Amino acid sequence: MKKNTLVAVLFALAHFSLYSQSTASHTVRIIAHPILELKFDESLNNTEFYFSTLSDYDNGITNLQAAGLKVRSNRDWLVNVKANSQTFNSESLGESEIKSSVLKVRKTGSNTEIPVDIFDQVIATGSNGGFDKNRFSLDYIANPGYILPDNYSIELTYTLTSP
């Protein structure tokens, strides 16, 4: 009888210890909102043109890798360029007759030159990733012809969007 009681107690203890465990679980969610960030690459800044020879006025000047842009995004993206005015501004005269389109922009390595205008034009595209993956440089080509001696400027705006 002692043996049967001992076996019964052992079974009861085993049964109690096996069924005394419990578990709990829950779901963890990651909610990822879209992000888009555009910055200039400060190491590239060659945005001034010096017209000083007849060849410069006849043929224009190309500044290779004049500016650099970098993108951080978690989705596909595109960068547009546009001029903020239809003409360059002259330091002495204010608005000038030099049209924005005498300045052309192209992604370095591309043959497609985009005459700058006051509407957005796609200059580059890419996919998700950080600044290390999504950086590119731009070439500027200026060919205004025989312009009056002065300092001229135009502001360009680059816009990052998702298609």
Show me where the domains of the chain are located: 36-161
The pLDDT value recorded for residue 98 is 93
CA dist., res. 82 & res. 116, Å (int): 6
> Can you tell me the mean pLDDT for 97-121?
96
Span 135-150, average pLDDT:
95
* Residue 92 pLDDT: 85
Which CATH fold topology does 36-161 show? Immunoglobulin-like (2.60.40)
**Which of 147, 157, 146, 89 shows the shortest CA–CA distance to 117?**
157
User: How far is residue 57's CA from residue 147's CA, in Å, rounded to a whole number?
Assistant: 8
CB 36 within 8 A of CB 161: yes
